[in-house]
A and B are shown apart, each in its own frame.
Chain A
Amino acid sequence: MHDRLTSVSDYAKHLDAALNDSFLRRALDTFAVAYKANREAVFSDVDEQALIRAVSDSREAAAAQLDELCARFTAKAEALGVRVHRAADAAEANRLMIDIARENSVRRVIKAKSMTAEEIGLNAALEGAGLQVDETDLGEWIIQLRHEGPSHMVMPAIHLSRGQVAEDFSKFTGIEQDREDVQKLVKVARVQLRPVFAQADMGITGANFAVAETGAMVTVTNEGNARMVTTLPRVHVALMGLDKLVPRYEDALAALEVLPRNATAQRLTASVSWISGTEEGKVRHFILLDNGRAAVAKDPLFSQIFRCVRCGACANVCPVYRLVGGHRMGHIYIGAIGLILTYLFHDKAKAHILCHNCTGCEACKTVCAGGIDLPRLIREIRARLNEEQGSPLESALIGKVMASRELFHRLLSFMRFAQKPVTSGGFVRHLPAVLLGRHGYKSLPALADKPFRRHWPELTETLPEPEAPVARIAIFAGCAQDFMYPEQLKACVRFFHARNATLLFPMQQTCCGLPLSMMGERAAALAVARQNVEAFSAPGFASCDHIVTLCASCAAHLRHVYPQYDPAFAAFAEKIVDFSTLARKFLERLPIPLALPDPALRIAYHASCHLYRGLGVHDAPRELIARAGTYLPTPEEDVCCGFGGTYSVKFPQVSAGLLDKKLNACAASGATHLAVDCPGCVMQLRGGADARGMKLKVVHMAELFS
């Protein structure tokens, strides 16, 4: 079933297949847009951030007292007649399940949807023991008929069309089923499954929560099938991960406010069952599954996964999931959390392939029901895998080169020389197609003749120190702007100089380290961080008021990740500011007014991931645009353009898909310009527009005012 993750090249083939699945693309597109609006509506009547904090706090507390919770839950449940087991791993859980079935002379098993059962491969184990197993959740039943795994944690069959379902149902029932009418197809399940419910000997469910104070469990469904699975058969077994334990009802109820809102944009699902103890004449077992969880609970960083309520929201908003679907965005668990749980619960080789398929756009982090820093955990997995298994050659090499500023910058100088014969109009052209391979979807930028750092001495001569400076602003150039787009930095310098600021540029600064961190090169990332903090703490620079960077990705990394490396870096990190925020602040003071907006400039905006979500900057760039020309809102401004640094190199096919969406939206809007706050996005979008022969001018925000 999950054989698509055997090698990087196989994975690439499966990604291609998904990208060519037009039904999947359309279905996930429609879903992504509808989900966002519906989610916002159902969160409008609760305090979203307070609920997320409540979930996060209660789950972290649960992880910290896991043994105690487990003991209390077990004692309480057993006192009410439930038999409670703890399984160390998947094999033990499956064995326990089979033993319970044998002990009770069970032949037929029905199941309600359980990701934990998927995790341990339960169906195969039960069938191997000669048991008849039937899924009762509609989506799970459909994929069971197809011998597939789920492609979403909440909507397991979202990858299938009604026609495909009708075909499977026709085959199963031996009667030709309606291929269009979904209502009728749903009734096929009603008719087919009622006898299955009636005849089952044993029902298996998961649990959404396990409440330690009374030993009760909770199931959350829309179809009501979990109620039937826990009621009709004489034996009920609930399989639950240790992470489902919560101390009190209040913890479960807070999570229940978030779970349906985040999963399917519902205030509550149709049926929630709160079950304690056993009933007369029936047998109930709870199997608490460890499978690595107890160890994870003790990990200072990864214990965060205890906050996951399996809502699937991280997939719902993931731009990569939207393009390639769940079967390519996880092993068993899907979405950002799926990449992480594959590493923790399953196979490290699979995790190694999967964990790079993330652009780092942080969309998941902002919607996570438990406030898990998913992008950080994914970066951490890359680092741990590199440490455990050794870095890939190119990654290790880049790490070595970049840890030394001199070496890195010398290499860039050499490349500038080497590219000369193939460069025109700021792009590298005339490369034989064979060298470009799958990267032909965008024109690649050329390195500038002269990096910004070599412009700096003459710039300082032409722009004299203001008499009464209002602020001292140090520039963090970032590699892309320093070496590819120095004109953007020059525009920034002129903008602030004209408004009476003193500008500073520490020459010893180097790459911010984000690409290294994304590749999992932890030591090199830390080394460059230290160099940068030292460069900006040197005499003459330490007293600056702001450190401005025109690169949203650098800014978010410097601001948020540096203090994680070393708390002593916090003073540096606090001074980091993006161009738009600082420019708006200066325009509010207005020593030099801007020219009136030029109505001929019809400017669309792309909200760079690391600016919009990373730094939470929403209004400043849009206000600036409106002062330069006509702001032209386009749909989904805040969805990733597909650059993602090394991501676009590793997954060109997905990157191109994301880029297409952006450029299509711009083309439809009639924009003359597309403004962004990040040179990575400029590289991606400008390269894409050039490759398509579009007239659209892709500019950095700073360039709007030059």
Chain B
Amino acid sequence: MNITKNNYEEFLIDHLHGELNGNLLKEMELFLQNNPSVKEEFELLQKTILVPDEKIIFQNKDLLLKNEKSTPLFITYKRPISIAASIVGIVFATYFFTQKSEDTTIAVNENKKIDTVQTIVKMNDSIASTTNLPITATQKNTIVVVKKQTKTNIKSSNIYHQPKKKLIEKLEQKNIPQPEIVVENKEIIIPQKETPFIENKLKEEMPTIIENKKDEALVANNTTSKGAIVLNEKKQPRLFQFINGIMRTSQKIQQKKEQLANTEILVMVGNKKIINLNQN
């Protein structure tokens, strides 16, 4: 096989994917040496290789473990759980495994208000990722868990030992202190006492601004007579957006906490209410 300018592309991609060997590999290496423009092309192709984000991990590995001696129904829980919670779990499992395996899908209003449901699902994703709860949809003040009636889903439903109180606790841990910062239409006013908070946030999350104070320094001349710093959306856009983002996140978490405090947690299959976990 001769690799030429007319047929090299296919081999180049194979080389990129480590699929060439033996004589063909040697031939390709020689071809690259003799053709700098193709070598450049190869280097560009190497840039198209994606690197996985190692921070993304499957967090519930204990859910994948099974105790060889037990029936496949139950997973070996590594965390201590209360006897009461275990009983609730057994009731759940018994109920679900005596049912037919039809997919019950989202338990609220099904197809009628799909937009609303999708919006709420999106909103709940952040709570679910914080708590590892299988929250799938809400209707008004009701969080509905368990959307499908499959063994996998039931096993992932550790709701019975992470009820509402735990959920609120998790959100509390995520709490961001609410600084007294005034966000107006095009300006943000940071009182002098809040500047350390903002500086710390900047150091943590946007160190380049601290290093590179040319466009939007906190120490600029834009202070009021009381020492407060005034940021203008046009003059300091990045800093404006950054602080605006902090304030909005803080408000959202506050809203979620309030919403959750007034929320009834139900487990439903179809339109049938199975259990109310509100009193846990």
Q: Do A and B bind each other?
A: no
Residues of B within 8 A of A (CB): none
